[in-house]
């Protein structure tokens, strides 16, 4: 029998026992809907998580340190390569070299120091970090009160919430993190801060005192080093810089990438121009009379998280240590895969019930249409014709159920999306789209529903085809 005839007869038969077949089809729809709902929830959550993580900059960042930085030495994967003393130093030309690597968006030095800031003549000691202009788009500064730096060299500062509380003399309640950032912002925005810091200045050779860490005192102490055979030397001068508070950031200082634990942020170009004394200056003093700034670490932003590994390898080949949390991301991806499988299994359970429903409906149809099958055989239908007819009925229910099911699953997703966003809005969170029904899922669900139905039709169709026409015709 030809396909159009088959389809026509199958649809006619489905219409004949409309109620039963509709119920079966609804069963398939519910199964498909639950599968679509579960999988789109999984996919949506995964997309939401990776969107968040991408924004946070955690997954597209490689931190580069010199092998000479012995703090990292001894980690298993970094034992290869030249010994630390012969490794390259991390300075401005190197940074530019890294920035020229393929797939690298930018490479910026991590400038971080502890220093004293004065606000209304009261000194506060804290960690200061420099931020590149690209940090503006990162998630951490998305909710900043006020605004981000007006330019990359502006004498401006963004404060971390806890530091803002400290400036206002408020004691943060331990364990509670409920301070409203906007309350803090009002009295602080536009005010000036005075930062005192130790500036490294190229010095005339000769003056030699003691090397000094820059991280604790504001003494007007001049430190210079004069151990280099080339006679390189510099002095450390205490300076002041006025900063305007332009923003208060509501971020957890422990969760940040580059400027970990920093509570005051400066624009990168400004921080670079200050030539603040860095711990590495002392470490490298004996061998780097280049006049170029040295960096303790450089953060590299990669175009796409998937290219992190390649960039890391390239930088390692240059002779530096690298670190990224790619491995962490791998385990997260794995987690989502497992989650998808679980959600898929739960979704499929409903479809499995629908599967039994199809088998049941078709077996009932055989009993009911026993005589009809006998007649068809008597007038010349082959086993194949009968089998195909039952398959076509199962397939038609599968396709119909698939279409209705996808629509239903999509609708459920929309409703839940809407509901959650209403809830999120009440909790004054931004709305999220964590329900995603990609095209491939729709296609997959329909094909899957069709195939499941065909498999369900296998047994009934075989049974119908094997029916003995003589007995079937005798059956009243």
Contact 416, 436 (CB under 8 A): no
User: Measured between alpha carbons, how far is residue 36 from residues 5, 317, 347, 443 in Å?
Assistant: 32, 46, 7, 10
Contact 31, 418 (CB under 8 A): no
Give the residue with the Cβ less far from other proteins, 332 or 375: 375
Structure tokens that stand for 52 in this block: 């968040």
d(CA 422, CA 23): 34
Smallest distance, Å, CB 474 to other proteins? Answer: 9
Residue 12 is a binding residue for other proteins (CB under 8 A): yes
Indicate which single residue of 77, 379, 426, 440 sits in contact with other proteins (rule: CB under 8 A). 379
Residue 219 is a binding residue for other proteins (CB under 8 A): no
Residue 9 is a binding residue for other proteins (CB under 8 A): yes
Piece in contact with other proteins (CB under 8 A), picked from 165-173, 266-274, 372-380, 390-398: 372-380
Give the residue with the Cβ less far from other proteins, 200 or 387: 387
d(CA 189, CA 278): 29
SS3 state at 207: coil
Mind giving me the DSSP string for 389-438? HHHHHHHHHHHHHHHHHHHHHHHHHHHHHHHHHHHHHHTT----------
d(CA 98, CA 118): 37
Residue 377 is a binding residue for other proteins (CB under 8 A): yes
Give the residue with the Cβ less far from other proteins, 6 or 262: 6
* Total binding residues toward other proteins, as defined by CB under 8 A: 26
SS3 state at 272: helix
Residue 11 is a binding residue for other proteins (CB under 8 A): no
Closest alpha carbon to 195 in 109, 303, 291, 274: 274
Smallest distance, Å, CB 2 to other proteins? Answer: 6
Closest alpha carbon to 108 in 279, 270, 325, 327: 270
Contact 444, 36 (CB under 8 A): no
Smallest distance, Å, CB 460 to other proteins? Answer: 18
Indicate which single residue of 38, 376, 396, 437 sits in contact with other proteins (rule: CB under 8 A). 376
Indicate which single residue of 99, 106, 226, 383 sits in contact with other proteins (rule: CB under 8 A). 383
Indicate which single residue of 282, 318, 363, 473 sits in contact with other proteins (rule: CB under 8 A). 473
Give the residue with the Cβ less far from other proteins, 45 or 381: 381
Residue 362 is a binding residue for other proteins (CB under 8 A): no
Smallest distance, Å, CB 402 to other proteins? Answer: 26
Piece in contact with other proteins (CB under 8 A), picked from 68-76, 165-173, 313-321, 374-382: 374-382
Sites of contact with other proteins (CB under 8 A): 1-2, 4-5, 9, 12-13, 16, 371-372, 374-385, 469-470, 473, 476
């Amino acid at each position: 029998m030809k396909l159009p005839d088959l389809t026509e007869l199958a649809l006619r038969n489905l219409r004949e026992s409309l109620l039963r077949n509709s119920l079966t089809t609804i069963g398939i729809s519910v199964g498909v809907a639950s599968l679509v709902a579960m999988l789109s929830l999984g996919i949506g959550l995964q997309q939401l998580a990776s969107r968040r993580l991408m924004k946070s900059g955690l997954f597209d960042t490689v931190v580069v340190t010199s092998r000479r930085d012995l703090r990292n030495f001894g980690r298993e994967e970094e034992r290869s390569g030249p010994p630390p003393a012969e490794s390259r130093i991390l300075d401005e030309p190197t940074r530019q070299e890294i920035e020229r690597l393929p797939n690298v968006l930018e490479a910026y030095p991590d400038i971080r120091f502890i220093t004293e800031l004065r606000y209304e003549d009261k000194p506060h000691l804290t960690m200061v970090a420099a931020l590149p202009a690209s940090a503006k788009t990162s998630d951490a500064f998305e909710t900043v009160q006020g605004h981000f730096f007006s330019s990359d060299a502006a004498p401006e500062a963004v404060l971390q919430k806890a530091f803002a509380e400290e400036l206002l003399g408020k004691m943060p309640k331990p364990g509670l993190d409920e301070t409203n950032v906007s309350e803090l912002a009002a009295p602080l925005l536009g005010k000036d801060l005075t930062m005192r810091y130790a500036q490294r200045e190229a010095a005339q050779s000769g003056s030699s005192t003691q090397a000094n860490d820059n991280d604790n005192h504001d003494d007007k102490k001049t430190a210079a080093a004069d151990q280099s055979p080339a006679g390189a030397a510099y002095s450390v001068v205490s300076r002041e810089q006025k900063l305007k508070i332009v923003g208060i950031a509501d971020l957890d200082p422990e969760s940040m990438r580059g400027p970990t634990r920093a509570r005051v942020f400066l624009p990168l170009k400004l921080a670079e121009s200050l030539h603040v004394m860095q711990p590495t200056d002392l470490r490298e003093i004996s061998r780097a009379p280049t006049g170029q700034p040295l960096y303790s670490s450089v953060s590299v932003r990669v175009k796409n998280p998937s290219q992190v590994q390649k960039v890391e390898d390239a930088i390692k080949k240059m002779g530096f240590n690298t670190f990224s949390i790619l491995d962490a991301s791998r385990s997260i991806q794995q987690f989502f895969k497992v989650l998808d499988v679980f959600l898929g299994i739960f979704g499929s359970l409903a479809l499995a019930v629908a599967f039994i429903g199809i088998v049941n409906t078709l077996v009932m149809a055989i009993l009911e249409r026993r005589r009809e099958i006998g007649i068809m055989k008597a007038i010349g239908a082959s086993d194949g014709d009968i089998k195909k007819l039952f398959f076509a009925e199962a397939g038609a229910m599968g396709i119909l159920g698939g279409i209705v099911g996808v629509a239903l699953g999509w609708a459920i997703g929309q409703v839940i999306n809407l509901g959650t966003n209403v809830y999120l809005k009440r909790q004054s969170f931004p709305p999220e789209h964590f329900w995603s029904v990609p095209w491939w899922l729709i296609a997959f669900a329909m094909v899957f529903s069709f195939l499941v139905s065909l498999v369900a039709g296998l047994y009934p169709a075989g049974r119908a085809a094997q029916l003995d026409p003589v007995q079937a015709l005798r059956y009243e």
